[in-house]
Structure 1
Amino acid sequence: MFGREKKSEKPQLPERSSTEDIAVAGLAPTTPADGSANAFSEGGKNYRNMGRGSTALVLITNQVGMGILSLPAQLQVLGIVPGVITIVGLGLLSTYTAYELLQFYRRYPHVVNVVDMAKVVGGTPLEIVVAIGMMIKLCLSCASATVTLSVAFNSISDHAMCTVGWIGISAIVCWLLCLPRQFKFVAHVGIPSTVSIFAAIMIVIISLGVADPKGVPPEGWEKEIKVVGNPTFREGLNSCLQICYAYAGNIGFVSYMAEMKDPSRDFVWGLAALQAFSIPLYLLVAIAIYCLSGQYVASPALGSAPQIPAKIAYGIVLPALFATGLVFGHTAVKFLYVVSMRALKSTHQMTDNSAKSWGVWVGSATAFWIVAFVIANAVPIFDSILSISSATFVAWFTFGISAVFWFFLNKGRYFSTPTKIALSVVNALIICQALFMNGAGLWTAITGLMEIFGGDGDIEGSFTCADNSIF
C-alpha cells in the first residue's frame, strides 16, 4: 500500500568512506559500509542498543512536549469540529510521512539523518541546503523550549526575574542535559517527561472542573463554546501552524533509526505506539481544557487554570519542557560534532573518549545553545515562536521533504499501478501544502508577532524583561 521497494533492489553504497558515513557521534562501524549489519560500537560499547521499548519512549519524548500546550486555544479559533479534524488529520499525515523516511532508510541504510538522505537525492548542493535548514529548525525548536520554560518560571515566581534571565537559566540547564553523547540517554527521561506533562494537564483539568479559569470577571461569566469557528484567514492559518508544531518530531526520526537494534521492525512498532498515544492525548487535552475554559482558554494551556493550580502545573511540567530541549538539542549537537570532526580530519577519533573528541562535543553544544538563547530572546512570545518555527521548517521536515524522498524512490513508476497513481497525487499535494505553509504561514506568524510588539503591552521588542506569561 505504501509503495515499499522490491527486495531485489540493492541499496546504493555511499560515496563517502565507511568511517565518514557514520554521521552520529560515537558510532563506529564494525561491519561493511553498505549497512547490511547493525553492530556498532564505541570502545566496546554497543550503540545499536535501542529496542522496541526504548524506541517508543524516545519517539514519545521527541514529539509529546510543549506543542500540546497550544492545542486548546486553537479550538477557540477553529471551533471544536474543525479543530479535531485538523489535529487527527495532521497526525495521520505525519505518520505516513514518517513511514516514508523508513522506506528511504531501508533502501539506503548508510544514511543516519535527513541531511544524508538529501545528499543521496540531490548531491552536495541539496545536502548543504537541508543541513542549514535542519540546524535552523532545531535552533527554533530549542528556542521555543526555552521560551516556554521562561513562561513557566515567570508564572511560578510571579515574574521575579527579568525574562532574559529566565531564558538564560533554561538554556544553561538544557546545555548541561545535552552533554551525554548517546541517544539512549534520552530514553531515560522519556517516562518522567511523559508523566510530568500528563500530570500537569490533569491538574489543570481538575482545577477547571471545580473553579473558574483565570481572567474571569468577579461578576461572573457565561461560557462560550464554538462548535465551528469563524476565524479570519490569518487566524485560521496561524492555528493550523501551531497544531503542526505538535507533530514536529519527524526531523529526528532518522537519527534514532541509526541507534535501533532493528530499525525496519522497531521503528514501525515505535511509530504506531507514538501516534496511538499522542493523537488521543492531544484530543483529550484540547477538548477538555477548551470546554472547561471557554473563551478564557490560554496558550500555553496551563495558564488557563486558576493562579495556584497553574503554578503547580507549571512546576510539574518542567521535566517535560527540559526533555524537549534535550531531544532536539542533542540531535543538533550530534550533527555539529560530526561535521566539526570531519572538518578537523579526525573522523577516526569520533569514537574516542579523548580530550579532543569531548572538547569538540562540548564546544558544539555551547555554540548551539548560545544561538538558541539569542533566538529565544528575539522572539520571546510562545505562540509566535511556535508559528514561525512551523512555517519555516516544520512544514518541510515533517511533511514536504518526505514526499520529495518518495518521488526519488519511485522514479519512473509514478503511474505504474493504481496505488502508485494515488500515492503520487497524495505526495504532490503534501509538497504543495508545505509550500503554502512556508509562504503564507510565515507572513501570518510574523504579522502576528509585530502586532504584539506594536500593541499596548509591556513587550515592545526583543530581549525584553517584561513578563511573557501574560500572552
Structure 2
Amino acid sequence: MTQTMLSRPAPGPEAVPESEYDPNVQDAEKNQKQQASQDVFGDEQDAEIKYKVLSWWQAGFLMVAETVSIGILSLPSVVAALGLVPTVILLVGFGVMSTYTGYTIGQFRWAYPHVQSMADAGEVLAGSFGREFLGMGQLLLIVFIMASHLLTFTVAMNTITEHGTCSIVFGVVGLVISYLLCLPRTSAKVSYLSIASFISVFSAVMIVMVAVGIQRPWKGELQAVVDTNLYHAFLGVCNIVFSFSGHVAFFGFISELKDPKEYPKSLFLLQGIDTVLYIVSAVVIYCYAGPDVTSPALGSASPLIGKIAYGIALPTIIIGGVVNGHVTSKYIYVRIFRNTDRMHKKDLVAVGSWVLIGFSTWVIAWIIASAIPVFNNLLSLIASLFASWFTYGFSGMFWLYLNKDRLFATPMKIFLTIVNFSMIAIAACICGLGLYVSGKALHEDSGSASFSCANNA
C-alpha cells in the first residue's frame, strides 16, 4: 500500500517548552487536559474500542518483547568477531546511547501529543515530505524485522524436527500463527503475550548458558581482543545496533499509555533488561562455546539442548514478530482512519480493514524472509539501512528541533547540542559502513537459494 493512498494526519501543535512538562509545575493538570484533546485517539470515554489503557509496565514489556528477541541470538558471535573487551564496551555504550535517544523520543511526544508514529514526527520536522519519508522508512524497517522473526522460526523448526519438511512450509506456518495473534486491535491485549515472550527468551538463553558451561565445547584461552578487519568487525557492530533498535515503535506505545508521563519507567525497564541480558549471555556463551559459536547462538550447545532451547524460544520468536506486526498494522490503520469515528468502531469496515492490513503486511514479511535466507546478513542489512537512523539519528534531530532556539543558551545546552549532533554523525557512519559490509556479505552468499526447501538450521 502506497503512502499517497493514506489520509493525511492532522498537523501538530506548536512545540511547547520542556519546562511546561515538568510534573512539578502548577499548570501540569491543564497541560494534561490539552494533550488528551490533541492526541491521536482523542476522548475515549464512550468509545467501543479503547486504546489508551496501557500501564507503564505493560508498555515496558511490549518494548522488551519488540527489542529483546532476534538480536540476542547473534551477540555471542559478535564477541568471537571483536573480542571480549570491545564487545562489552560497545554493548554498554550503545545501551547508554539507546536510553538517551529513547528518552528524547518521549520528550518529543510530550511536546507534540498528536504524534503516533515516526511519520507524524517526520511531518513536524519536514512537512509532508518528512511524513512520507519517515513513514515509508518505518514500514520497511518493521516489515523487515517481522521477516527476520519468520526466518528464525524456520531455523528453529528445522532444528527441532531435523528438517522434518520443506522450510517454506515452516515459514507459512509461522506466517499463519503470527497473523492470527496480531488480530486484536489494541496493544493492551498484545501486552500479555509480551510477558510470555520475555520468560521464553530468558529461559532459553539460561538453558544454553548452563548447557555450554557444563559441556564446555571449547577449552582454549579467552581473547580480550582479536585480530580482525573492517568487514567482519562492522558486521558485528551492525548486529549490536540491531539488538537495541526498538525505537521505531516507541511513539506507538506512548500513544496508548494511560499516562504518557510514565513512559520513562517503561524505557528504563527495557534498557535495564536488555543491556544486562545482552552482556551476560554474549560473554558467558562465548567463554564456553569459543570462536566457533553459532549464530543464532541457541545452536551452540549439543543437538539435544539446541532442540530444547529452540522449543522454549519459540514463543519469543513468534511474539516478538507479533508485537512488530501489530505496530505496523496500527500505523497503517491510523493513517487511514485518523480523525474519524471508525478508529473506535467494531463495524464491518473497521474490522475488515484491520484484518486485511494485518494479512497484507505478514505476507510481504514472509516473501522477504524467503528471499533473503541468511540470518546475520539480514540483520546487518536492516541495522545499517534503517535502524541506525530510527534509533540514533532521528532522535538527535528531534532534540535539536525541540531546542532550536536555545542550542547554546547554557553550558548544559551546548553539551547536549554536541551530543545530539554526534548521534546524527554516528547514525550516518553506521549507515554508510553498514551498507558496505552487508552488501558485501549478501554478494558473497549469493549462492544461497531464495524460496528454497533446503535446511537452513
What TM-score, normalized by structure 1, do the two folds share?
A: 0.87
Structure-1 residue corresponding to 2:333: 337
Structure-1 residue corresponding to 2:68: 64
Structure-1 residue corresponding to 2:245: 248
Shift of 1:55: 2.3
Instruction: Name whichever structure is richer in helix by fraction.
Output: 2
Among candidates 393, 408, 413, match of residue 400 of structure 1: 393
Does 2:374 align with 1:381? yes
Shift of 1:447: 1.0
Q: Which moved more, 1:117-126 or 1:46-55?
A: 46-55
The correspondence of residues 187-198 of structure 1 with structure 2, limited to 5 A, is 187-198=191-202
1:467 partner amino acid: N
Structure-2 residue corresponding to 1:358: 351
Structure-2 residue corresponding to 1:453: 446
Q: Which moved more, 1:376-385 or 1:42-51?
A: 42-51
Shift of 1:4: 7.2
Structure-2 residue corresponding to 1:166: 170
1:426 partner amino acid: V
Deviations 1:125-151 (A, max 9, x none): 110000110000011100010011111
Deviations 1:355-375 (A, max 9, x none): 111111111011101110111
SS of 2:18's partner is coil
The gaps in structure 2 that reach 5 residues or longer are 1-15, 23-32
SS of 1:229's partner is coil
Structure 1 residues 385 and 186: alpha-carbon distance in aligned structure 2, compared to 1, 3 A threshold: same
Q: Which moved more, 1:442-451 or 1:139-148?
A: 442-451
1:413 partner amino acid: R
Structure-2 residue corresponding to 1:412: 405
Structure 1 residues 37 and 201: alpha-carbon distance in aligned structure 2, compared to 1, 3 A threshold: closer
CA distance in 1, matches of 2:350, 2:49: 16
Structure 1 residues 207 and 91: alpha-carbon distance in aligned structure 2, compared to 1, 3 A threshold: same
SS of 1:466's partner is coil
The correspondence of residues 213-252 of structure 1 with structure 2, limited to 5 A, is 213=217, 222-252=219-249
Conserved? CA contact 1:392–1:442, under 8 Å: yes
1:98 partner amino acid: G
Shift of 1:155: 0.6
CA distance in 2, matches of 1:166, 1:254: 33
SS of 1:400's partner is helix
Shift of 1:83: 0.2
1:258 partner amino acid: S
Shift of 1:33: 3.5
Structure 1 residues 293 and 126: alpha-carbon distance in aligned structure 2, compared to 1, 3 A threshold: same
Conserved? CA contact 1:30–1:41, under 8 Å: no
SS of 2:409's partner is coil
Structure-1 residue corresponding to 2:316: 320
The gaps in structure 1 that reach 5 residues or longer are 10-28, 214-220, 455-459
Does 2:106 align with 1:93? no
Shift of 1:34: 3.0
CA distance in 2, matches of 1:59, 1:261: 16
2:277 partner amino acid: L
The correspondence of residues 148-187 of structure 1 with structure 2, limited to 5 A, is 148-187=152-191
Deviations 1:338-389 (A, max 9, x none): 23346xxx93222110111111111101110111011111111111111111
Conserved? CA contact 1:144–1:385, under 8 Å: yes
CA distance in 1, matches of 2:377, 2:391: 19
Conserved? CA contact 1:41–1:48, under 8 Å: no
CA distance in 2, matches of 1:139, 1:80: 32
1:468 partner amino acid: N
Deviations 1:287-320 (A, max 9, x none): 1100010122110010101000000000000001
Shift of 1:450: 2.0
Structure 1 residues 350 and 122: alpha-carbon distance in aligned structure 2, compared to 1, 3 A threshold: same
